[in-house]
Amino acid sequence: MAGKSYVSVSLSATTDGGASVNVNASFSETISGNVIIHSVQTIGSVSSEQVNFPSDLGTPSIVLLRNIGTTYDILISGEDEAKVVSYLIRLKPGEAAVFRLNGNDLYAKGDGGSSDLEYVVVED
C-alpha cells in the first residue's frame, strides 16, 4: 500500500498603501518510498556545504526547510552542471520553505555566521 504526503501553505500580506493578498494552496501526493527524515544540521558561514541527507534516503520528493537559528540568515541553493552555486532561497531566522527537490543535492550557507537548519525530507 502506498503512502501519502499532504502539504498546505498560506500567504497573507498587507502593505501600508492598502494592497493585500491572501492565498492558500494545498496538495497531496502518493508516495512509494518508506523513508521520512527529520533532522537539524548546523550550517557554517565560510563556504557552501551540502545538506547531509542520510544515505538510506532514495529519491527525495517534498522538502521542508526551516531556519531555527535566532541571528543569521541561511542561503539555500542547488548546483548546476558546472558546479556553480546560485543561492535561490534566503531563510531569515524563523522562516521556512516547502518545495519539491529536483535531484538529490541541496546546499546551504550561513550569511554572516552559523545557524541551525531544520529539515524534513519525504522519499518519493
In this structure, is residue 49 part of a structural domain? yes
Residue 4 and residue 36 in contact, taking contact as beta carbons nearer than 8 Å: no
In this structure, is residue 100 part of a structural domain? yes
Q: Quick: pLDDT tens for 71-98.
A: 999 999 886 556 666 788 999 999 999 9
pTM of the model: 0.88
In this structure, is residue 93 part of a structural domain? yes
3-state secondary structure the chain: CCEEEEEEEEEEEECCCCCEEEEEEEEEEEECCCCEEEEEEEECCCCCEECCCCCCCCCEEEEEEEECCCCCEEEEEEECCCCCEEEEEEECCCCEEEEECCCCCCEEEEECCCEEEEEEEEEC
What distance in Å separates the CA atoms of residue 18 and residue 49, rounded to the nearest whole number? Answer: 41
In this structure, is residue 41 part of a structural domain? yes
Total tally of structural domains belonging to the chain? 1
Confidence (pLDDT) at 82: 60
Confidence (pLDDT) at 58: 83
What does the block give as the cell for 86? Answer: 546560485
In this structure, is residue 3 part of a structural domain? no
For the chain, give the mean pLDDT: 90
Instruction: List the CATH number of the domain containing 83.
Output: 2.60.120.510
Structural domain that includes position 72: 33-123
The residue-averaged pLDDT of 29-36 equals: 89
Confidence (pLDDT) at 114: 96
In this structure, is residue 14 part of a structural domain? no
